[in-house]
């Protein structure tokens, strides 16, 4: 069986789990399929939703950049993003433009930001408003190309 490399963001845990997403995430890490740099103490905190530091540690896991994660089977580095659902992304996908099909069947493009903000972008004019939010000109040009504005 061929090992599958993650190429697009995927939902790891549904937002239906509510306040238990960090706990369930810690259980996944303890399952041994994801190599990580969390301390045993941080894992113990995430396993206890009543712990005073539960949300502090969870925010650090998601937003501090202090931790690294790798799928052991494929040796692929990954990142996590939470906007309701908890998403797993290939490392380097953060802060890039992704193409998602909207509920109405159209394609919507948006940049992922690390500050819990997702802005939908559907035109070149709108994209220009976010030009400064991209980390590089290459990422901006990729978004322009997605929207059909490439040369």
DSSP string of 113-141?
-TTS-B--B-SHHHHHHTGGGSSSHHHHH
Q: Residue 8: what pLDDT?
A: 78
Confidence class of residue 37 from pLDDT cuts 50, 70 and 90?
A: very high
Count of domains observed in the chain: 2
Q: Residue 58: what pLDDT?
A: 95
Q: Residue 130: what pLDDT?
A: 67
The answer to whether the CB of 143 falls within 8 A of the CB of 111 is yes
Q: Can you tell me the distance from the alpha carbon of 19 to that of 93, in angstroms, rounded to the nearest whole number? A: 26
The reply to whether 39 and 66 lie within a common domain is yes
The reply to whether 21 and 64 lie within a common domain is yes
Q: Residue 106: what pLDDT?
A: 45
Q: Residue 103: what pLDDT?
A: 42
Q: Which domain holds residue 23?
A: 10-90
Identify which of 15-19, 111-115, 147-151 has the greatest average pLDDT: 15-19
- Residue 90 predicted with pLDDT over 60: yes
Q: Which residues contact 107 (CB under 8 A, 6 or more apart)?
A: 99, 100, 101
Instruction: Find the mean pLDDT for residues 79-85.
Output: 87
Confidence class of residue 100 from pLDDT cuts 50, 70 and 90?
A: very low
Instruction: Find the mean pLDDT for residues 20-35.
Output: 94
The reply to whether 43 and 65 lie within a common domain is yes
Q: Residue 97: what pLDDT?
A: 46
The reply to whether 76 and 20 lie within a common domain is yes
The reply to whether 106 and 79 lie within a common domain is no
Q: Can you tell me the distance from the alpha carbon of 89 to that of 91, in angstroms, rounded to the nearest whole number? A: 6
Of 1, 3, 14, 2, the C-alpha closest to 88 is 14
> In this predicted structure, which of 36-40, 47-51, 90-94 has the lowest mean pLDDT?
90-94
| More confident site: 94 or 103 | 94
């Amino acid at each position: 069986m061929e090992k599958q490399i993650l190429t697009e963001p995927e939902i790891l845990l549904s937002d239906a789990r509510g306040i238990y997403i960090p706990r369930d995430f810690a259980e996944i890490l303890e399952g041994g399929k994801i190599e990580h740099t969390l301390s045993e103490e941080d894992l113990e905190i995430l396993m206890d939703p009543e712990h005073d530091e539960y949300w502090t540690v969870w925010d650090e896991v998601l937003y501090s950049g202090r931790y690294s994660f790798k799928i052991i089977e494929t040796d692929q580095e990954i990142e996590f993003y939470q906007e309701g659902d908890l998403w797993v992304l290939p490392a380097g996908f953060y802060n890039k433009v992704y193409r998602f099909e909207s509920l109405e069947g159209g394609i919507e493009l948006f940049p992922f930001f690390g500050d819990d903000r997702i802005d939908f972008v559907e035109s070149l004019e709108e994209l220009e408003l976010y030009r400064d939010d991209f980390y590089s000109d290459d990422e901006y040009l990729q978004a322009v190309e997605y929207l059909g504005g490439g040369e």
